[in-house]
Amino acid sequence: MRRWVLLPLILIAVVLLASAQTAEPDETTQTLKSGETVTKALTTVTSTAISPLLGVSVMGAWQYYKTPTLQRGQLPFFQRPYFWAPVMLLLVLIFIKDTFGGFAPLIKKPLDAIEVLVVNHASLVLIVFPVVMNQVARVMGFTSLKGLFASMLSGPVVYAATAQTSGIHHAFSMATAVLYLVVGFVITAVVWLLGHCFDVMALISPFPFVDFVLKAIRNTIFGVLLATSIISPHVGLVLALVVILVAFLLFGWALRLAFFGSMFAWSLLEIAIRCAGEAGARGGRAGFQRGTEGREQQNLWEAVTARGRFADLRLSTPVGGTGEDGGNWTRE
């Protein structure tokens, strides 16, 4: 237990130390700015990891709104409307499922299983990891991931008098970027796993509307982190550190619960698909029988109406008389 407490503290301390070393010793202002950038990046990554869909929707829309029109083309893909607008629509559908789906659990539970198996894992890969890489690029002083990757591939700008110094500085900067990525991915995965467990508990809960409460708690954590990081970045950093610490403390339990949730969701979808297939087969057989009976009745009717003396007669409701073949007949 003690090692899980020390691990996130060591990782964050290494990140802060590396960020301090990236600036020149005489540039105190630049050092403080680098520390503030790391603080903002840490709170952004933590907020997005705890609730990826909500995080990318809210922060992406806010960043797009406050960015000048001419500079919006430089925003990363997850901060553009073509990405976060469909995510907002997906959030609305999930909200409808969680609120009104409790009245139809046979439909809601398979949808919960799809959310656990597909939506959450896709959000980790398509949303959270790109956010981490984008924040690392900003901490390193680049405006986008393209600048960071271009710097890694092109190498240092070498001058005749400072060739050795430039090479060492570039190597140290790239090592720092790799360190940021590793630490960011580790923290993100652990925090995401904690947020993912809320969806797993909602899936396995037999009580209706419990999932709405669980997700409300998770979204409240996200809201508090986001609000405090905007109002007071230092308070936001403290709360982010608390969330990260709790996530590391509960990592073993969360990992076991996530594995159990994946197996439960997979089994639930298998049962739902099998039941749907059996229901479709039964419906097909019943429809075939109904179709056969209908064709037999149609053939009988055509045979009756084909007779010359009954050609102008049609079957109708009883009128008191009885026809030759036991039916009630009337003349049109």
Q: Write out pLDDT tens, residues 294-311.
A: 555 555 445 544 544 444
The pLDDT confidence band at residue 315, using thresholds 50, 70 and 90, is: very low
**Every domain of the chain and the residues it spans:** 2-249
Share of the chain above pLDDT 90, in %: 22
In percent, how much of the chain has pLDDT > 70? 68
Confidence band for 22, pLDDT divided at 50, 70 and 90 = very low
For residue range 68-85, list pLDDT tens digits in order: 888 888 888 888 999 999
Task: Look at 26-35, 50-59, 80-89, 201-210 and tell me which has the smallest mean pLDDT.
Answer: 26-35
Model confidence at 95, pLDDT cuts 50, 70, 90, reads confident
Residue with tokens 């708690």: 217
pLDDT for 24: 45
Q: Give the model confidence (pLDDT) of 222-281 as tens digits.
A: 989 988 888 888 888 889 989 999 999 999 999 999 999 999 999 999 988 888 787 766
| Confidence (pTM) | 0.73
Kindly report the average pLDDT of the chain as a whole number: 76
Q: Answer whether 116's CB lies under 8 Å from 110's CB.
A: no
CA distance linking residue 169 with residue 127, whole number of Å: 31
Report how many helices (DSSP H) and strands (DSSP E) the chain contains, helices first: 12, 2
Q: How far is CA 261 from CA 217, 257, 285, in A?
A: 19, 6, 36
Q: Is the CB of residue 61 less than 8 Å from the CB of residue 84?
A: yes
Best CA proximity match to 20, nearest among 8, 10, 33: 33
Q: What are phi and psi of 26, to 5 degrees?
A: -85, -10
Angle at 53 between CA 33 and CA 10, to 5 degrees: 45
183-187: average pLDDT: 89
Q: What is the pLDDT of residue 31?
A: 44
In the prediction, which pLDDT does 309 show? 42
Q: What is the pLDDT of residue 262?
A: 93
Q: What is the mean pLDDT of residues 7-15?
A: 55
pLDDT at 33 over 90: no
Span 125-177, pLDDT tens digits: 888 888 988 888 888 777 777 777 776 666 554 444 444 455 676 677 778 78
